[in-house]
Amino acid sequence: MSNAKNPDPEQSPSQPTGADRRIPEAVIRRLSLYSRVLQVLERQGIEKISSTELGERLGFNSAQVRKDLAYFGQFGVPGFGYPVQDLRNNIKRILGTDREIRVALIGVGHLGTALLSYDGFRKQGFLISVAFDLFENLEGVGAMRVPIFHINQLERRLEEFGVEFVMLAVNPEAAQGIADRLTATGISAILNFVPVRLRVPSKVRVHDVDLAIEMESLSFYLK
């Protein structure tokens, strides 16, 4: 567009600069990492940072930092860099984590209990407000005072507690059936700890946290 050598500028509409382009998943994950670095800087009272410094802290190229941010707007000042607090606010807004998000946990076994007690979530604004299990005798109040219901109350209670997304930590046999029920209720994001490939409609987003695969792939690089 601004390339003077282009003989026919009218014919080159250039790429859209807004949110039009499809954003690669990797960009979103890096955004989250930037946010974490900016949080540290903010606590230290540092007010600006260049793409080079921000990249170095995470092992990324400075062009990558600038390009990632440019997907969403212009946040920097040429000659200076990026204002720390302002940029962090913008990233939180882009990620949608500038507010409290209510989450449900399904499956209160060992892993589920650890997730209930993990305070990293609350720090990021994620509030586990309700949990479910397949065993009736777990009903009651679990760690962190979170109410636990039997799975047969799933639909009703998700609604009641205003749950926006779900962490799934049940046994592999139960996972797909529950995923089906979740998508039927309109849940659009699942953090899946079950080592099973869930079949869901394309509008539903599933992120797998697969410890066995992490271990196996690490093992490949041993020594």
Interface contacts to a second copy, rule CB under 8 A: 25, 28-29, 31-33, 35-36, 57-59, 94-97, 101, 103, 110-111, 113-115, 117-118, 120-121, 123-124, 126, 143, 164-165, 188-189, 191, 195, 197, 205, 207, 209, 211-223
Shortest CB 12 distance to DNA, Å = 7
| CB-nearer residue toward DNA: 4 or 212 | 4
| CB-nearer residue toward a second copy: 33 or 174 | 33
Q: Which helix (H) or strand (E) holds 161?
A: none
Token readout for 169 is 């930590």
Shortest CB 162 distance to a second copy, Å = 13
- Say if CB 95 and CB 159 are below 8 A apart: no
Termini Cα distance of the chain: 51
- Say if CB 91 and CB 34 are below 8 A apart: yes
Q: In the set 9, 19, 24, 217, which binds DNA (CB under 7 A)?
A: 24
Q: In the set 58, 70, 184, 211, which binds DNA (CB under 7 A)?
A: 70
Nearest to 54 by CA among 65, 45, 44, 43: 65
Write down the H helix ranges in the chain.
25-43, 51-58, 62-70, 84-95, 110-117, 120-123, 154-160, 172-185, 211-220
Residue ranges that bind DNA, judged by CB under 7 A:
1-4, 6, 12, 14-15, 17, 24, 26-27, 50-52, 60-64, 66-67, 69-70, 74-82
